[in-house]
Amino acid sequence: MPAAANHFYYDVAHLLGALVLLCSFVLIYQRRLTGIINAFTMQSLALALAAAWQAFVQDAPHLFVTAGIALLFKTVTVPVALHWIVRRLAIHETVENALGIGLSLLSGVGLVALAVLLVLPVTGSTAALTRETLAMALSILLLGLLIMIARRNAIAQVVGFMSLENGLVLAAVGVKGMPLVVEMSVAFSLLVAFILFGLFFFRIRERFDTLDLQFVESFRGERR
């Protein structure tokens, strides 16, 4: 592989990975449920592209399957279903933030810095492509967790969980020789989790007339 081409591969992979990361930041400052779902769709699309690019670069056709799964489930099925749930339950109001937008973005930047500081020295000997991807994947993972704790709405928490999982998939496709089984199982477990979450949404809504977890918590007699 000529050096110039190598550089080009690296840049594109980096760009796509950064796009996924950027979508995490987009996710953080959304105030409306539709916006959150759309940002998640964008992130999943970027992830599918990144996976497809890795499949091309690494010459690993099974990664195309991963890209396909990401495209089919995460950019089509899950967002459509979430939009349907939002329409069906008629919840268009803004989501209450537990952490302010500015503070969330600042902590997000801090988490990315932490991930970079952590991954780059540890993986000193591996290829540059893998290192950067891993750093970005860890950032996305941490940001997903941040979204889960920064939102009080159940749907937003589920989206946070799925974006966390996007980080995992990004790490998986960036590493050479990761077997397809791993990605498949992650994808399917996600699907099962999604179905379960959907069921719970309806149950919670039926009982409490809201998906805002504040009400559920006070109902359970929890302290906040």
Q: Which residues bind another protein (CB under 8 A)?
A: 98, 111, 114-115, 117-118, 121-122, 142, 145-146, 148-149, 152, 157, 213, 217, 221-224
Between CA 44 and CA 90 the distance in angstroms is 25
- Taking alpha carbons only, the member of 213, 222, 179, 169 closest to residue 60 is 179
- Cβ closer to another protein: 3 or 224? 224
Contact in structure between 43 and 27 (CB atoms under 8 Å): yes
- Cβ closer to another protein: 19 or 98? 98
Q: Min. distance of Cβ 216 from another protein in angstroms?
A: 9
* 157 φ, ψ (degrees, to nearest 5): -65, -40
Between CA 93 and CA 214 the distance in angstroms is 15
DSSP symbol at 95: P
Q: Min. distance of Cβ 161 from another protein in angstroms?
A: 10
Q: Min. distance of Cβ 224 from another protein in angstroms?
A: 6
- Cβ closer to another protein: 2 or 121? 121
Q: Min. distance of Cβ 107 from another protein in angstroms?
A: 9
